[in-house]
Amino acid sequence: MQIEDRVAIVTGGGGGIGSAIGAALAARGARVLLADLDGDAAAAAAARINDDHPGRAIAESGDTARTEVIAGLIARAQAEFGPVDMYFANAGITGGPGLDLTEAQWDRVLDVNLRAHIRAAQQLLPGWLERGEGYFITTASAAGLLTQIGSAGYAVSKHAAVSFAEWLSVTYGDRGVRVSCLCPMGVETKLMREGENSGDPLGEAATRAVTSAGDVLTPDQAAATVIEALGDERFLILPHANVRDMYQQKASDYDRWLRGMRRYQASLLATADGPAR
């Protein structure tokens, strides 16, 4: 899809990958609404974009997992810029390490990392199908292809996010709806560092698993890969090329891959206190 003159919404747009995607879109002529639970961060990110590209960014605060907030984002973007062409379901949370998540924590991680995507698609698809085009971009994770050591909620929700993106593409891809799924490994964001700051051995292992498995990219590097993939309308966006190799190894011998992951987890926990829960 050509980016120039398109209207995009980016959730989790106050920082990290989201704000970098917003800036990259605006640099290529798109108009962008950045949405974030941290409204001040979203406003600051939009201001930085407008310093370089006046009038191309606006900001909204709110919980972008909620149906009514998503509806408000779409309405605001349309009123300011025109019909929404692209939706980046980028907001995400880790959910916490191990199996100790409460019911409320499970609900929250599934709401933010999965149901927010479903709710956005439910609102956008009717208009996109009528117009014959639209682009839904999911930020999942390499954890959605390979699992995540340490964080059950993150691994489960990101697998589900990949699956939903696949379903959207299969179901509506021949009707003009384009779908891409971003699956990075280590990107230098607050989210990546949450585990090592959790004080939990599994949380610390979750961060080490990411930082030791390959290069840690900047958000701008990840965003550049996204922009390139949008031009090709490529489904799977892999800023880390070795993720594809790992994914192919997993598919070729699942049991061997699981044994290898258990050994890898054990090595990460070797200096931590206590067994995995």
| pLDDT tens, residue by residue, 246-259 | 999 999 999 999 99
107 falls in which pLDDT band (50, 70, 90)?
Answer: very high
277 falls in which pLDDT band (50, 70, 90)?
Answer: very low
Is residue 238 within 8 Å of 143, Cβ to Cβ? Answer: no
Is the pLDDT reported for residue 198 higher than 70? no
Which amino acid does the sequence have at 30?
A: A
Which amino acid does the sequence have at 90?
A: N
State the Cα–Cα distance between residues 71 and 68, nearest whole angstrom. 5
pLDDT of amino acid 91: 96
- 154 an active-site residue? yes
Is the pLDDT reported for residue 192 higher than 60? no
State the Cα–Cα distance between residues 142 and 133, nearest whole angstrom. 28
Active-site residue (options: 154, 172, 247, 264): 154
Name which of 28-32, 199-203, 220-224, 240-244 the model is least confident about. Answer: 199-203
Structure tokens at 188: 């230098």
Structure tokens at 163: 């699956």
- Dmax (CA) of the chain: 57
Is residue 96 within 8 Å of 198, Cβ to Cβ? Answer: yes
Mean pLDDT taken over the chain: 91
Is residue 81 within 8 Å of 54, Cβ to Cβ? Answer: no
The average pLDDT across 53-65 equals 98
Structure tokens at 253: 């011998």
Is the pLDDT reported for residue 187 higher than 90? no
pLDDT of amino acid 220: 94
pTM here? 0.91
How far apart, in Å, are the Cα atoms of 2 and each of 83, 170, 277?
15, 22, 47
